[in-house]
Amino acid sequence: MKLRFFAALLAVMMIFPLAGCEKSLLNKNDPVTLAFWHVYGEQSGSPMDELVDEFNRTVGAEKGVRVTVTGTSSASQIGAFLLQAQAGGSELPEMPDVFTCHIGDALSLGAENLLDWNDLFTEKEREEFVSGFLDDGTADGKLLVFPMSKSTHVLMLNGSAFDRFSAATGTQYSDLATWEGFYQTAGAFYDYSGGKTFCAMDYPIRAVELRAMEQGAEDFYTEDGWYDTDNAIFKESWLEFARALVQGHIQMSDLYSNTQVMTGETISGIGSSAAILYYNDKVSYLDGTVEPMNLQVLPMPKTNGTDALMTQAGVGLCAYKTDEQRAEAASLFVHWLTEPERNLDFVAKTGYMPVRNGAFDAVEDYADFPEPQQAYQNLYAALNTMRQEYTPVSEPRFSGYYGKVSALYDALREAQKDYPARLANGENMDDLANETWTLLCSMG
């Protein structure tokens, strides 16, 4: 505990390199209170609330800062709540001093209203963080959203079922390293199983985008925030996914693919790394059979022979600009939250990626994962591989984009119910795949 305290004290000294000339505005005898909104669990005793309590007992009490959680919400809702609070909404708490949000939400609040973390973290400190994660929270040179955790998309598998498939067909986990192998494996499993779907996908449009970018597609967004349907590489990447979809080799998840994997409807799912929180250690099949999940986690497939890309998702930390005392208090709190050991402890409980290089380096020897530990070890081995071999890519920031994506997903979920019968009745696979392309085009 003493080591942690002195590390925190050193961090505070680094925040204010001119401390010898400029007196701190914080006073332990007259603490400043920061209101904090976050998305890390609304339940009592969430990992973030526990961290806030620890901060208040230790460094906060010593330096004169108290953090109070005044709001919790989901990542998809917090942006709207923040805008209402900024406008003075009567049914919500006052605008928080510190909050978690996406970069799009931050820009909606106005960059001029937010602290620029570049002013509060030295260049040397910033070099300790995964550079792509910092870039994701930057707009017009200002670091508005400071990373605390990031998720990405991975391939999770029912290891028990895959092992039987492997023994019967010779298919290996290594076959799933590339998109070429992934789609071939999905077709092989469909044939082996007598028509069962291999994989449910939570965010297929992102997989299509990454595949297209790896193959050299550029500038496939339009000015109004949808896709340039004249981009041939993007179109072919979509049709590759669509051909597998209409044949039943893969499917849109009901919402989150872990449910379909846990019931044996599929044996794999592509979704957020944070979904590990919702996987059971057993598979409960619809016929009543139960067996160990033996959860295996693999990196997102990549395009053979190209530089691999990975999505980066997740909120970060913003601070509303008010006065210099609150800025100093917010800086103290965020420095403390993102210390390497603390960052690793937090993300290891939630399935997120560490944001500091040092924390990522320590994952391999980490011994305090939740149960089942082997599943978490598999996840973080995959994430470490992606950190070393993949380049993180930010998600689209267009206003209204995710509403269009949601509508597209709903339409695909409805359409996929009829594809098996339509194929059986003689309709052409490529015609059905192009029908999904027409659907995507109509969303623009």
**Cβ atoms of residues 347 and 353 within 8 Å:** yes
Q: Which of 227, 214, 218 lies closest to 391 in space, CA to CA?
A: 214
Mind listing the pLDDT tens digit for each residue in 81-130? 898 899 886 676 789 999 999 898 999 999 999 999 999 999 999 999 98
Q: Which of 144, 148, 269, 142 lies closest to 200 in space, CA to CA?
A: 269
Calpha distance 92→70 (Å, rounded): 10
Mind listing the pLDDT tens digit for each residue in 227-275? 999 999 999 999 999 999 999 999 999 989 999 999 999 999 999 998 9
Mind listing the pLDDT tens digit for each residue in 344-374? 998 888 889 999 988 888 888 888 898 899 9
In this predicted structure, what is the pLDDT of residue 47? 84
**Cβ atoms of residues 356 and 340 within 8 Å:** yes
pLDDT tier, 338 (very low <50, low <70, confident <90, very high otherwise)? very high
In this predicted structure, what is the pLDDT of residue 8? 45
Mind listing the pLDDT tens digit for each residue in 120-174? 999 999 999 988 899 999 999 999 999 999 999 999 999 999 999 999 999 999 9
Cut 0.75: pTM above it: yes
In this predicted structure, what is the pLDDT of residue 154? 98
Calpha distance 405→206 (Å, rounded): 10
Q: Exposed, middle or buried: residue 116 (CB in 10 Å: 0-12, 13-18, 19+)? A: middle
Calpha distance 243→434 (Å, rounded): 9
**Cβ atoms of residues 363 and 354 within 8 Å:** yes
Note the Cα 353 to chain centre separation in Å: 8
Calpha distance 95→326 (Å, rounded): 13
Structure tokens at 177: 């390293």
Sorted by sequence, the CB contacts under 8 Å of residue 126 that are 6+ apart come out as: 118, 134, 143
First vs last C-alpha separation in the chain: 55
Calpha distance 437→434 (Å, rounded): 5
**Cβ atoms of residues 240 and 183 within 8 Å:** yes
In this predicted structure, what is the pLDDT of residue 140? 94
Calpha distance 220→398 (Å, rounded): 13
In this predicted structure, what is the pLDDT of residue 270? 98
In this predicted structure, what is the pLDDT of residue 16? 41
Backbone angles phi, psi at 99, to 5 degrees: -160, 160
Q: Which CA distances in Å does 68 have to 77, 96, 98, 333?
A: 20, 10, 10, 12
Note the Cα 246 to chain centre separation in Å: 28
**Cβ atoms of residues 329 and 26 within 8 Å:** yes
Amino acid at 173: Y
In the predicted structure, residue 9 carries a pLDDT above the cut 60? no
In this predicted structure, what is the pLDDT of residue 92? 65
In this predicted structure, what is the pLDDT of residue 404? 93
